[in-house]
A and B are shown apart, each in its own frame.
Chain A
Amino acid sequence: MGRTVSLTIDDRTVTATAGERLLWVALDNGIYIPHLCAIKEADPAASCRLCFVEVEGCPRPVTACTEPVRDGMVVRTRSPQIDRLVATGFELLMSVHRLDCAHCPKNRRCELQKIAARRKLKLRPGRLAVIDRNLPVDESHPLYNYDPNKCVLCGRCVWVCRQLARAGVLGFAWRGFERRVTTFEGRPLGEWDCSACGLCVEACPVGALALKEAAR
């Protein structure tokens, strides 16, 4: 660790510290890779599956958030195969994301909009049916609302609530398609003695956790 390495990303040579994760090295050098779940300080969850890149010598696409940089590494962030995977992953997420940009507090600052713009992808799924999970929106908290129908399950709010706020109010529950971010026993957020630090709202890349209009 601590050794400086040099690598090529999309024909650009960049330097980094050995062991750093490729995603952050790319982003720090202004090279965009779509990502939702990655947190720089945390072990990678590698769950959103949007940060795929090609690394020379690897037979299959790899996730940039888990890949440590090595000296002489040659990386491509775009290729037909990568673009196809990212497009499908994005379309899958959008097929269960309640689209209402015009009324969404995150409009224009939404990570999904950013990915769509950068990768020239449609927000509305083209091939896949839209599945509205129709989960109840939690408006019980004085400061913010939580709309699970917009949640992309990146887990960033869960991490900050535990590791930074040390509150542990938010967590994952259920399995499979039913997996969701919720509280213990699914009790309304307003019932929790949370310090209203707002870190979760800040961490949310989409409009699932958003300040109430009055608090904005």
Chain B
Amino acid sequence: MSVAQKYGALAAGAGKRWEERAQKPLLLVGTATCGRAAGALEILRCLKEEVGRRGLEAEVIEVGCMGHCYAEPLVVVAKPGWPAICYGYVTDGIAARLVEDFLLNDDPCLEFVLAALEPNDLVPSFADFPRSRYEHKMVLGRCGLIDPEDITHYIATGGYAALARVLEMAPEEVIALIKASGLRGRGGAGFPTGLKWEACRSAPGNPKYVICNADEGDPGAFMDRTILESNPHGVLEGLIIAAYAVGASQGYVYVRAEYPLAVERVRTALEQAREQGLLGSDVLGSGFSFDVELFQGSGAFVCGEETALIASMEGKPGLPRHRPPFPVHAGLHEKPTVVNNVKTLAYVPLILEKGPEWFTGVGTSRSPGTAVFALAGKIVNTGLAEVPMGTTLRQLVYDVGSGIPKGRKFKAVQIGGPSGGCLPAELLDMPVDFDSLTVAGAMMGSGGMVILDEDDCMVEMARFFLDFTQKESCGKCTFCRLGTRHMLDILTRITKGQGRPEDLDLLQALAEDVKAGSLCGLGKTAPNPVLSTLRYFRDEYEAHIKERRCPALMCQDLIAYYIVPERCERSCNACMGSCPVEAIYTTPDMLKAIDQEKCVKCGSCVDACPPQYRAVIKVSPPEVVADKAEG
């Protein structure tokens, strides 16, 4: 049998199962980590119980994440004769009603609908959401719609067709197609994938290795986790194709052990792919042999850096080393090795299936395709969003993310993870791609995007992110080990109101030198939050240093709580009762006031003061309180 025939048989079998399944009502529950955190396993249990109790012919299936994490737990009901409808914020009660009212009685419970998956006459669909004008799903395409633990779902929706086609092409042809697509690595640096593969293919040395980098250590980033939890075969297919293109016989998926569900789902995917003859010796009868092992990283941020990652796989301490030699020439066990990010690999089968033009048709000329962002922080729709490269920050924040909650004002977006940069409102109309971000002082990084509003202090933000990179520095090289420490000390001092006028120039100089002098990408990028906030929010630094004032009222040492006498309702004791240290007292004219000596600045009184008074406010610098008392 030829490869095509073998694949044809697989696809036919999977297609048949898929068809059979579609005859029954299906209940899809998003049980990726985001869903689980919101209680999806309880919903899953509840749905199964309801269906079982009533002896229904319906199937309850676990799926991954669709990106609407803000509305988890999510359930999709696909009932024959009805559009597939997604329900959000599902509770036990709603779950029970979906079974009772919808499955049994044809009442689709419109009050709980988030949206239908496809446009229809009955209920609004995701396509009607304002964000769908900007979203463009490529690697997230199947996420949340197929069972990640059942390979037939992936195959029935066209999965592994690209591999079957690739196996009948010359490896050089595959590389040429990836080069033509302009695909750039999604691990952060944006290196052209085709060039990387070509270099590895032509490097002398045997065996060769391919590694999928799923270390994803950025706090706030969860796209790689989501993709592995939602569609592991999409990544695996990309890895097999990479191996075929470069001539590797062994591959690895390097997942951090803190992602237990991703680990589990990748393991299952590997087993199932092996059973179907998609891995192992003689893949699909092509004569090409390749297998993949799972490697669990121990969760050091720096181990996401490719040379540190390889060292840790070899059983050595996870420290980066000088490049060159690059892994494509001397990687794992000194052999030519391709390291690619999860998303990079997930694009590969799609590009080979639909052609490079399909890919270059989206995004910008130098950064084709889409970008996946994890939206977090002060934004209404937290979750994943996949948009064409070149989408503006404004579209991302306001149209995809639905803006800032509680009517607060946008201040900045920290983009590219802890070593990205903070970009201000003036740059909201900047189209986002690899190159524009670097010019602006940020970077694509992993695609983490933290939105900050007027209540966030930019000095504190810089300190917070530097605290992370400083802790995650491996300590090998002088600039990163010591430079980040000194920068952190200076920033900490400034947020405590002990900044000195010369601090800003020193901070700037140190940041520039750490960037230029560090051995690996961690140190080369760690100063970005400092440099970008100095560039765009220098006035906030100056307020801290010159006036001991935190404009965002965030730095604990620079604020005080104060009860506005005009707003205080004399007879109400709410604030007093809430104070854990008895710092609030009643003045002779029966108003409440705060003893600043006793106050621990916990903020309980702000929450306790009834919303119609809002008498407790924060002031900065703390001395303002004394002025007010006198004045």
Fill in one digit per residue for A158-187: 1 if any B CB lies within 8 Å of its CB, else 0. 000000000000001011111100000000
Bound state CA distance, A185 and B474, in angstroms? 19
Q: How many chain A residues have a CB neighbour from B under 8 Å?
A: 34
Q: How many chain B residues have a CB neighbour from A under 8 Å?
A: 28
Closest to A63 in B: B322
Q: List 26 A-B contacts (CB under 8 A).
A: A45-B321, A48-B477, A49-B517, A50-B478, A81-B516, A88-B479, A88-B513, A89-B479, A89-B513, A89-B517, A92-B479, A95-B482, A127-B506, A129-B486, A131-B489, A153-B478, A153-B481, A175-B474, A176-B471, A176-B473, A176-B474, A176-B475, A177-B470, A177-B481, A177-B482, A179-B475
Instruction: Specify the main secondary structure of chain A where it touches its partner.
Output: loop
- Total A-B pairs in contact (CB under 8 Å)? 88
Question: B513, A84: Cβ atoms under 8 Å?
Answer: yes
B6 contacts chain A at the CB level, 8 A cutoff: no
B519 contacts chain A at the CB level, 8 A cutoff: yes
* Cβ distance B479 to chain A, nearest Cβ, rounded Å: 5
Bound state CA distance, A81 and B509, in angstroms? 12
Fill in one digit per residue for B439-475: 1 if any A CB lies within 8 Å of its CB, else 0. 0000000000000000000000000000000111111
What is A's interface to B at a CB cutoff of 8 Å?
43-50, 52, 60-61, 63, 66, 81, 84-85, 88-89, 92-93, 95-96, 127-129, 131, 153, 172, 174-179
- A127 contact set on B, CB distance < 8 A: 506, 509
Question: B516, A61: Cβ atoms under 8 Å?
Answer: yes
* Cβ distance A162 to chain B, nearest Cβ, rounded Å: 13
Bound state CA distance, A46 and B317, in angstroms? 16
Instruction: Specify the main secondary structure of chain B where it touches its partner.
Output: helix
* Cβ distance B486 to chain A, nearest Cβ, rounded Å: 5
B382 contacts chain A at the CB level, 8 A cutoff: no
- A88 contact set on B, CB distance < 8 A: 479, 483, 509-510, 513, 517
Contact of A175 among B321, B475, B506, B519 (CB under 8 A): B475
Contact of B516 among A50, A60, A93 (CB under 8 A): A60
B289 contacts chain A at the CB level, 8 A cutoff: no
Question: B474, A92: Cβ atoms under 8 Å?
Answer: no
Question: A179, B322: Cβ atoms under 8 Å?
Answer: no
Question: B470, A92: Cβ atoms under 8 Å?
Answer: no
Q: Beyond A46-B322, A49-B519, A93-B482, is A177–B473 a contact (Cβ under 8 Å)?
A: yes
Bound state CA distance, A84 and B517, in angstroms? 10
* Cβ distance B447 to chain A, nearest Cβ, rounded Å: 25
Bound state CA distance, A18 and B140, in angstroms? 49
Bound state CA distance, A49 and B477, in angstroms? 7
Q: Beyond A92-B486, A131-B485, is A47–B476 a contact (Cβ under 8 Å)?
A: yes
Nearest 9 A-B pairs (CB), nearest first?
A179-B475, A92-B482, A46-B322, A88-B513, A176-B475, A176-B473, A49-B478, A47-B477, A66-B322
Contact of B475 among A85, A129, A131, A177 (CB under 8 A): A177
